[in-house]
Chains A and B, each alone.
Chain A
């Protein structure tokens, strides 16, 4: 008993991620936390996407289930779980069964190395970024399996499109990533790193986010990645694999109920995963904004109040909406619910002002806020752009992004060499 407690507490002193410290108990706790947080994020994203898209399109979005449709994702999830589990008669049952799990597995496993803070990651691998790119591209296997096993024409075309698309955009993505890894080697020792935590720490050490590094090289690399990551996750305007107006639903046409919801879950977690990569590589991961310009204890203090303030702002928004609810007995429960939700948010905001908590949530808050910004971009794209055609998509991948990526890579390498005084023309 004593040794168990000692085993658990021994981690607390070490300044490492649980994976790196080799403490299985805390690894398990972190996995549960990340898994739970991710599921909540997907649910929230579902609601937010519908609401934001609706407001972009002069409509209200879900309004009936719960105040402002807040319980809609939960109602949807329940509906999907209760639906009959259909497998088409001529489908390849085993592969049909395995495909959604494959996709979900790939989407969730990448979070093993996502650094939410200097020690807030499940583990820190010295090949972190390679692991992430490798595992996240495994999801294409699941999509091809789903398309093939459905034994139907639309899924087959959708799967073919999707595999071609993901494979070709991976290359451009890789070029952009390599240019960042080159940037991490700009230190006294001249050694770069592939570790996700190491990459952020390199940005911290160089006092510069890599998006601003070697301006405009970092920015262009970021741009390449930002385009490629939308294509990689099959989202608008690159949502050819599930183009509703062309292929009804693409590779998951034959899926329904729980299996379909797994695809949904995987799509959204993949979006969060690639956004996390982008945030880690270019936007300074868990670092707060303007670390150079607004440095000093005063600013440190100021920024530490932002998490709590933003929650209080959300709470105020809830209370404002509560006040605007129709005064009718029919809406009483909804009004109370919205006020309760606001109270919970407000309470969280107040807790975030407590000094030790305030310091502790800084990393996680800034990381999540940056990822949330990317999520908003995803929704914005979907509301704005028409869909690319397949050949145009491939043309863009191979003829625009890949040459750009190669050029950026060579230029970055040249500038890096020059700065390290290793190359004297």
Chain B
């Protein structure tokens, strides 16, 4: 049973050391653990409280989303993508719809583009709010969770009114939108923005200069820009390490090039910087939504798309900036109604790779903080 070969993958760097050292403690954190954000299992190798190394075991939530995609038509697969990153379902839908549109060579009309941007950015705020609440909860501050969830509710109400669902929205269709915005949509979005601006200050008041919060996050889970790029880490984690890479600016999709916003970057690449970057991102999202609502054009919401979609044979890769990082879809079409192969590049999955590097030499409590700051959603990691 305790064959060294079967277990040695835990300790690749010191193969000469016996696996079970008396000074070492191997702990299974998860899959049932309050702070692993779902069903992540982390095998920790500890020296007292110090982390010598760790390994992520994933797949507890694997549903074979990519394989399902090969057996559904392009339209039928659309709702499935919502179930990957269920916290930011709208972003998932946007990525998928835009990829198929690219394959079909159609473009959604301007009004649809604007509504897409509004909903996606609202979803980014909702996703960041959930991240903030759970991250603070992991670090031991229980109150921010309730504040963020209270305010997230307002966004979910808008989603519910728009498309009937709160979480797995299925808000967009290939070629545009199915539903015209409901009466008073613009006003409600504007009301939300006015309501939400002071709320960000409220969150920051609770945490940004809180002594314990700063001590718990500064210098924790540091990762350099080079390592981020080498590991393929994207999103706020990459930006907190000082790389100004945001697909909304770098490869503008939807109608992001019409809007004026800034990309916040950090310097140290630690948990505190990632926290600050996400806080600024929420403010920037508010700015984008404000511009998009003010300039919401009239017009059709659906481009001319055939009822039975048969994209020309070929392949396409398209990626968007989801709240957690670069969300990419790679679709190979054989000219039939179903994709020949569909591959998702989920940001959480790639970002999770950095966990080991970020946690080595830190303490158990920091592992929790780093899992929180990576902002992973296991539905997206396992797919």
Write out, one digit per residue, whether chain A residues 330-356 have a CB within 8 A of any chain B CB (1) or not (0): 000000000000000000000000000
Most buried by B among A154, A237, A386, A392: A386
Task: Check A386 against B363 for contact (C-beta < 8 Å).
Answer: no
Judge whether A206 is part of the interface by a CB distance below 8 angstroms.
Answer: no
* B34 partner, pick from A57, A58, A248, beta carbons under 8 A: A248
Judge whether B364 is part of the interface by a CB distance below 8 angstroms.
Answer: yes
The A contact surface, by secondary structure, is helix
* A387 partner, pick from B25, B143, B216, beta carbons under 8 A: B216
Task: Check A388 against B143 for contact (C-beta < 8 Å).
Answer: no
Identify the A interface with B (CB < 8 A).
Answer: 53, 56-59, 153-154, 157, 160-161, 236-237, 239-240, 243-248, 382-392
Instruction: Identify which of B77-85, B134-142, B162-170 touches chain A.
Output: B134-142
* A246 partner, pick from B147, B212, B364, beta carbons under 8 A: B364
Known contacts A58-B146, A58-B150, A246-B368: A385-B212 contact under CB 8 Å? yes
A153-B27, A383-B142, A388-B212 are known; give 8 further A-B pairs, CB within 8 A. Answer: A59-B146, A157-B364, A246-B35, A246-B365, A246-B368, A385-B140, A389-B363, A389-B366
Which chain B residues lie closer than 8 Å to A392 at the CB level? 215-216
Q: How far is the CB of B216 from chain A (nearest CB, A)?
A: 6
Q: How far is the CB of A135 from chain B (nearest CB, A)?
A: 29
Residues facing A in B121-155 (CB within 8 A) are: 136-143, 145-147, 150
Please name the 9 residue pairs, one residue from A and one from B, whose CB atoms are nearest each other, closest first.
A387-B140, A245-B35, A57-B146, A386-B141, A386-B140, A245-B138, A386-B139, A389-B365, A386-B212
Q: How far is the CB of A369 from chain B (nearest CB, A)?
A: 26
* B363 partner, pick from A153, A383, A391, beta carbons under 8 A: A391
* A245 partner, pick from B49, B137, B147, B213, beta carbons under 8 A: B137
Task: Check A248 against B213 for contact (C-beta < 8 Å).
Answer: no
Q: Which residue of B lies closest to A395 (CB)?
A: B215
* B140 partner, pick from A153, A157, A160, A237, beta carbons under 8 A: A237
**In the bound complex, what is the Cα–Cα distance between A388 and B147 (angstroms)?**
22
Q: Which residue of B lies closest to A389 (CB)?
A: B365
**A/B interface sample: 11 pairs, CB < 8 A:** A58-B146, A153-B25, A153-B27, A237-B212, A244-B34, A384-B143, A385-B212, A386-B207, A386-B210, A387-B216, A389-B215
Q: Which residue of A lies closest to B145 (CB)?
A: A57
Q: How far is the CB of B105 from chain A (nearest CB, A)?
A: 49
Task: Check B146 against A387 for contact (C-beta < 8 Å).
Answer: no
**In the bound complex, what is the Cα–Cα distance between A239 and B142 (angstroms)?**
13
Task: Check B49 against A387 for contact (C-beta < 8 Å).
Answer: no
* B49 partner, pick from A56, A154, A157, A384, beta carbons under 8 A: A157
Q: How far is the CB of A302 from chain B (nearest CB, A)?
A: 38
Judge whether B62 is part of the interface by a CB distance below 8 angstroms.
Answer: no
Q: How far is the CB of A241 from chain B (nearest CB, A)?
A: 12
Task: Check A57 against B140 for contact (C-beta < 8 Å).
Answer: no
Known contacts A58-B147, A59-B146: A387-B139 contact under CB 8 Å? yes
**In the bound complex, what is the Cα–Cα distance between A418 and B143 (angstroms)?**
48
Known contacts A246-B365, A386-B136: A57-B143 contact under CB 8 Å? yes
Which chain B residues lie closer than 8 Å to A59 at the CB level? 146
Judge whether B33 is part of the interface by a CB distance below 8 angstroms.
Answer: yes
Which chain B residues lie closer than 8 Å to A248 at the CB level? 33-34
Identify the B interface with A (CB < 8 A).
Answer: 25, 27, 33-35, 48-49, 136-143, 145-147, 150, 207, 210, 212-213, 215-216, 363-366, 368
Which chain B residues lie closer than 8 Å to A236 at the CB level? 140
Task: Check A243 against B140 for contact (C-beta < 8 Å).
Answer: yes
Which chain A residues lie closer than 8 Å to B210 at the CB level? 385-386
Q: How far is the CB of B44 from chain A (nearest CB, A)?
A: 9
**In the bound complex, what is the Cα–Cα distance between A245 and B138 (angstroms)?**
5
**In the bound complex, what is the Cα–Cα distance between A389 and B365 (angstroms)?**
6
Q: How far is the CB of B213 from chain A (nearest CB, A)?
A: 5
Q: Which residue of B lies closest to A57 (CB)?
A: B146
Which chain A residues lie closer than 8 Å to B215 at the CB level? 388-389, 392
Task: Check A383 against B140 for contact (C-beta < 8 Å).
Answer: no
**In the bound complex, what is the Cα–Cα distance between A385 and B137 (angstroms)?**
10
Which chain B residues lie closer than 8 Å to A383 at the CB level? 142-143
Q: Which residue of A lies closest to B369 (CB)?
A: A389
Most buried by B among A57, A383, A384, A389: A389
**In the bound complex, what is the Cα–Cα distance between A29 and B75 (angstroms)?**
78
Q: How far is the CB of A168 from chain B (nearest CB, A)?
A: 15
Q: Which residue of B lies closest to A388 (CB)?
A: B212
**In the bound complex, what is the Cα–Cα distance between A53 and B141 (angstroms)?**
12
Q: Which residue of A lies closest to B48 (CB)?
A: A160
* A386 partner, pick from B147, B150, B216, B366, beta carbons under 8 A: B216
Task: Check B363 against A390 for contact (C-beta < 8 Å).
Answer: yes
Q: How far is the CB of A158 from chain B (nearest CB, A)?
A: 11
Most buried by A among B215, B365, B366: B365
Task: Check B216 against A388 for contact (C-beta < 8 Å).
Answer: yes
Q: How far is the CB of B256 from chain A (nearest CB, A)?
A: 34
Q: How far is the CB of A227 from chain B (nearest CB, A)?
A: 12
**In the bound complex, what is the Cα–Cα distance between A387 and B136 (angstroms)?**
10
* A390 partner, pick from B27, B49, B139, beta carbons under 8 A: B49
Which chain A residues lie closer than 8 Å to B365 at the CB level? 240, 243, 246, 387, 389-390
Which chain A residues lie closer than 8 Å to B27 at the CB level? 153-154, 157
Known contacts A58-B147, A243-B140, A245-B138: A389-B33 contact under CB 8 Å? no
**In the bound complex, what is the Cα–Cα distance between A59 and B364 (angstroms)?**
31
Which chain B residues lie closer than 8 Å to A386 at the CB level? 136, 139-141, 207, 210, 212-213, 216
Known contacts A245-B137, A387-B216: A57-B142 contact under CB 8 Å? yes
**In the bound complex, what is the Cα–Cα distance between A53 and B33 (angstroms)?**
24
Which chain B residues lie closer than 8 Å to A391 at the CB level? 363
Which chain B residues lie closer than 8 Å to A56 at the CB level? 143
**In the bound complex, what is the Cα–Cα distance between A382 and B137 (angstroms)?**
12
Q: Which residue of A lies closest to B220 (CB)?
A: A389
Q: Which residue of A lies closest to B213 (CB)?
A: A386
Which chain A residues lie closer than 8 Å to B34 at the CB level? 244-245, 248
Most buried by A among B25, B136, B143: B143
Q: Which residue of A lies closest to B214 (CB)?
A: A386
Task: Check A382 against B142 for contact (C-beta < 8 Å).
Answer: yes
Which chain B residues lie closer than 8 Å to A385 at the CB level? 140-141, 210, 212
Q: Which residue of A lies closest to B134 (CB)?
A: A245
**In the bound complex, what is the Cα–Cα distance between A243 and B365 (angstroms)?**
9
Most buried by B among A57, A160, A240: A57
Q: How far is the CB of A76 from chain B (nearest CB, A)?
A: 19
Q: How far is the CB of A144 from chain B (nearest CB, A)?
A: 16
Q: Which residue of B lies closest to A247 (CB)?
A: B364
Q: How far is the CB of B378 from chain A (nearest CB, A)?
A: 16
Q: Which residue of A lies closest to B366 (CB)?
A: A389
Q: How far is the CB of A150 from chain B (nearest CB, A)?
A: 14
**In the bound complex, what is the Cα–Cα distance between A243 and B215 (angstroms)?**
17
Task: Check B142 against A389 for contact (C-beta < 8 Å).
Answer: no
Q: How far is the CB of B329 from chain A (nearest CB, A)?
A: 34
**In the bound complex, what is the Cα–Cα distance between A309 and B366 (angstroms)?**
50
Which chain A residues lie closer than 8 Å to B139 at the CB level? 245, 386-387
